[in-house]
Structure 1
Amino acid sequence: MKRELLNAEAIQHHLATLPGWQVEGQELMREFRFSRYLDGIEFVRRVALLAEAMNHHPDLIARWRRVTVRLSTHSAGGITELDFELARQIQTVPSASERQT
């Protein structure tokens, strides 16, 4: 997977395929909401497994019934294809698709 920075046009193209995700600064970001706190914690666990398998680790912020995911390729200094690939995989996490907003 390429770790080269994406330009604004490429980022917008990828965002069009990932509902709910947005860019904040040099990060790809999404907040997921859950009906129960433990659902959010289980979501974090599942995302952590995906991230470990890709050796690409997002910032995960767990709050009461909310989890914020922030993706950036720090070695490249911003958003790369790798970030979008992990975002697409996060979209497949069952607890995300069942309870996301």
Structure 2
Amino acid sequence: MEPYLLQDEELKELVVKIPGWEINDGQIQKEFKFSNFIEAFSFMTKIALICEKYNHHPAWENVYSKVIIRLSTHDLGGLTNLDQTLALEINKVFDQ
């Protein structure tokens, strides 16, 4: 997948296309909550494998049962179709 910067109209539609994510400081972000650390870490492991598939890696943090994921494409200086795709994939894993 060749990444390209999302244009203004695409950015407006982004939060509708990827529920629960919000645009903040040139990146998209979502907080995920789990019952415990093991569930949170298991989720992160699944996401890590997807990130490797796209060779696109998030900024994320984990504190006990909470995972915060932030996505942007630093190489292109903003939000891209790759960030959108990865966010959609992350939502699918979380919803399973």
- TM-score, length-scaled by structure 2: 0.92
> RMSD of aligned C-alpha atoms?
1.2
Question: How many residue pairs were aligned?
Answer: 96
1:1-101 matches, cutoff 5 A = 1-93=1-93, 96-97=94-95
Cα pair 1:44 1:60 within 8 Å, conserved: no
Letter in 2 for 1:12: K
Letter in 2 for 1:97: D
Q: 4+ residue stretches of structure 1 with deviation over 3 A?
A: none
Alpha-carbon deviation of 1:14?
Answer: 2.2
State how far apart, in whole Å, the 2-side matches of 1:17 and 1:83 are.
12
Residue ranges of structure 1 left out of the alignment (5+ in a row): none
Identity, % of aligned positions: 35
Q: Secondary structure at the match of 2:95?
A: helix
State how far apart, in whole Å, the 1-side matches of 2:56 and 2:83 are.
8
